[in-house]
């Protein structure tokens, strides 16, 4: 694929411009290791400064964006969603060439998430009501939800367009102006959005794209004129973002930092359904999702049957792993050589340290590209790294349990708390577990999925704040109290 010149530029004030910072990054095709481009820009201080100034102008009192009616803003968001939909195969190809995820199922589903987010939040425009209180004490009291102003979204490489929807859509629907910083590993689809931003009718400076690496993210997180940063990525980087935000202007932060999600399968579970969700929850995007079902606990009575069915289902997934450009492929490579080597080292160390029994998989596949065969470890200790640490690859730890009390302790024995799943036909047990699991999301007879109307985020080191639903609107607005004295 030939990379068009504008895909290696920044999008500032509704124009593609060359990056002022001379530094360049390289991106590679993980399917074969070939160079895609050596001209990926890294936005620096001056570039960020231009974007922030344009954003401030776009948010100034009396600006086109501030004066735009709710109906017109809604139309812009809906048109943008329509344009993403009309260009989804092209956008998916731009992500696929550096991420390696086949169009079906992951590439298509992550773009559908972006489209759905913009349509969902377009529906909220003009409906995010404040409050009013009677003047029984002589004061009429009004609470308004006001936009924060210039906000930034720093998104990960593993689902770039979906992440744009989760962050940009609620920010723009509430009247903010938005600066997007995509990952340096998968920047191309984000870069392509500039043309769609203009065509949708966003005024200059409202929606901008700064391609860059961690240095760009640090500039955004510490910038004194940015009111909020929403970050998705690693725990270590999230902590750095929070510290920079606090040390600068105490900007608001939302952090979504990953997980080690437990799936708990009871004896009375529907076996076929449990295997389906657990296998898909591990292999989606080759395990490179924050809510991958990477810990599976199965009750004694169903353990052998579940494990046999799980192994067969994973072998089927192995059979559809291949070149992401082929329509028959459902699993592709992991994102790059660094991730590939990291996963293989984790698997090798687990074998050397006898952290569990490797039942199948775990090998490097092919002579080129970064393919890792999905791996199953059994009987891993609770303190084993294979059970404790986020791998971000197709590696699962499966263990048996006897009692509900035991498995609650096992599931909660993690520094993460993003998503948990329970598979059972007992509604009373399901409700108990939904309360007992220390997790931001609990699935009953499902796992590793999200919905537009419901908050998404985690407890403990899985992050701070929530995305999706009305909770995202709260995250991009500030309540303002207006007190009207009726007694003077």
54 Cα distance to chain centroid: 27
Q: What are the tokens at 183? A: 């990952």
Give the catalytic positions in this structure: 256
pTM, two decimals, is 0.96
Residues of the chain with confidence (pLDDT) below 50: none
Domains located in the chain, CATH noted: 5-257 (3.40.605.10), 261-444 (3.40.309.10)
Three-class SS state of 447: coil
Helix (H) or strand (E) holding 408: helix 404-412
Secondary structure in 3-state letters for 432-462: HHHHHCCCCEEEECCCCCCCCCCCECCEECC
DSSP H helical ranges for 182-336: 188-200, 214-222, 235-247, 271-283, 300-319
End-to-end Cα distance, the chain: 71
pLDDT 10s digits, 42-62: 999 999 999 999 999 999 999
Given a contact cutoff of 8 angstroms between Cβ atoms, the answer to whether 135 and 486 are in contact is: yes
Measured distance CA(240)–CA(247) in Å, rounded: 10
The DSSP code for 467 is B
Measured distance CA(340)–CA(394) in Å, rounded: 11
pLDDT 10s digits, 309-340: 999 999 999 999 999 999 999 999 999 999 99
pLDDT 10s digits, 262-276: 999 999 999 999 999
Q: Which residues in 99-227 belong to E strands, given as ranges?
A: 131-133, 139-147, 150-154, 177-181, 207-209
Q: What pLDDT is recorded for position 70?
A: 97
Q: What are the tokens at 114? A: 């972006």
Q: What pLDDT is recorded for position 294?
A: 97
Q: What pLDDT is recorded for position 383?
A: 87
């Amino acid at each position: 694929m030939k990379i068009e010149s504008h895909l290696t530029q920044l999008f500032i004030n509704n124009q593609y411009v060359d990056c002022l910072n001379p530094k360049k990054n390289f991106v590679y095709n993980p399917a074969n290791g070939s160079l895609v481009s050596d001209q990926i820009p890294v936005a620096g201080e001056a570039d960020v400064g231009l974007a922030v100034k344009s954003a401030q102008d776009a948010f100034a009192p009396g600006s086109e964006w501030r004066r735009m009616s709710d109906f017109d803003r809604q139309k812009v968001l809906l048109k943008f969603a329509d344009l993403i939909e009309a260009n989804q195969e092209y956008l998916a190809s731009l992500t696929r060439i550096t991420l390696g995820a086949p169009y079906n199922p992951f590439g298509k589903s992550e773009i559908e998430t972006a489209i759905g987010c913009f349509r969902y939040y377009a529906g909220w425009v003009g409906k995010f009501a404040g409050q009013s209180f009677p003047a029984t004490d002589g004061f009429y009291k009004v609470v308004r939800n006001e936009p924060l102003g210039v906000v930034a979204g720093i998104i990960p490489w593993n689902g770039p367009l979906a992440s744009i929807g989760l962050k940009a859509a609620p920010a723009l629907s509430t009247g903010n102006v938005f600066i997007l910083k995509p990952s340096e590993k998968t920047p191309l689809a984000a870069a392509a959005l500039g043309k769609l931003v203009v065509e949708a009718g966003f005024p200059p400076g409202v929606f901008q794209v700064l391609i860059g690496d961690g240095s760009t993210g640090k500039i955004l997180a510490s910038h004194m004129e940015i009111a909020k940063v929403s970050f998705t990525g690693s725990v270590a980087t999230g902590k750095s973002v929070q510290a920079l935000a606090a040390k600068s202007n105490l900007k608001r932060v939302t952090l979504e930092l990953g997980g080690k999600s437990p799936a708990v399968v009871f004896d009375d579970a529907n076996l076929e359904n449990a295997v389906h969700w657990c296998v898909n929850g591990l292999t989606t995007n080759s395990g490179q999702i924050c809510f991958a079902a990477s810990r599976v606990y199965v009750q004694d009575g169903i353990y052998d049957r579940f494990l046999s069915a799980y192994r067969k289902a994973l072998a089927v997934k192995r059979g559809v792993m291949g070149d992401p450009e082929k329509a028959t492929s459902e699993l592709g490579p992991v994102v790059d050589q660094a991730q590939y080597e990291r996963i293989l080292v984790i698997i090798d160390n687990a074998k050397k340290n006898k952290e569990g029994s490797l039942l199948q998989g775990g090998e490097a596949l092919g002579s080129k590209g970064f393919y890792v065969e999905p791996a199953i470890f059994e009987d891993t200790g609770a303190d084993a790294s294979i059970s404790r640490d986020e791998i971000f690859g197709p590696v699962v730890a499966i263990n048996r349990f006897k009692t509900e009390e035991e498995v609650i302790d096992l599931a909660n024995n993690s520094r993460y708390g993003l998503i948990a799943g329970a598979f059972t036909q007992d509604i009373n047990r399901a409700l108990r577990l939904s309360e007992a699991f220390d997790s931001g999301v609990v699935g009953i007879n499902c796992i590793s999925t999200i919905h537009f109307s419901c908050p998404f985020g985690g407890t403990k080191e899985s992050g701070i704040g929530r995305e999706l639903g009305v909770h995202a609107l709260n995250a991009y607005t500030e309540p303002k109290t207006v007190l009207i004295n009726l007694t003077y």
